[in-house]
Amino acid sequence: MARPTRNARSDGSDAPATSSRTREAQRQRSQRAAEAGKTQAGQRKERGGTRQFISESAGELKKVDWPGQRQLMSASIVVVIAIFVVGLYLWVVDEAFSRLVKNVLLNQ
């Protein structure tokens, strides 16, 4: 029978044993990382102000693929038609419920 290695557990499993010293070192590393203001991904938390926000926003807006005039016009037409259809539907439902209330519930 092979002699168990130093990292093997005494219960027979193959998982390496974690010593209390190793666990303590891991805890200290995570605590230092939290104190240093780092996220889990290792990036520093930026505490920038309004100026940094505006410059980053401007950079993102430069990456946007803005629509052309033809695409803008067709999208606007679709929105106007959708508003008309929904408005017509709500008007019809409102008229139906108002007549229902007047004739059935108020008996007029």
What is the DSSP track for 2-31?
A: PPPPTTB-TTS-SSBP--HHHHHHHHHHHH
pLDDT bracket for residue 34 (50, 70, 90): low
- Tens digit of each residue's pLDDT (9 = 90 or more) over 35-90: 655 556 656 666 678 999 999 999 999 999 999 999 999 999 999 999 999 999 99
Looking at mean pLDDT, say which of 7-11, 60-64, 90-94, 99-103 comes out highest: 90-94
pTM of the model: 0.44
Q: 5-28 b/e with 16+ CB inside 10 Å = b?
A: eeeeeeeeeeeeeeeeeeeeeeee
Q: What angle do CA 5, 10, 11 make, to 5 degrees?
A: 130
For position 82, what pLDDT does the model report? 98
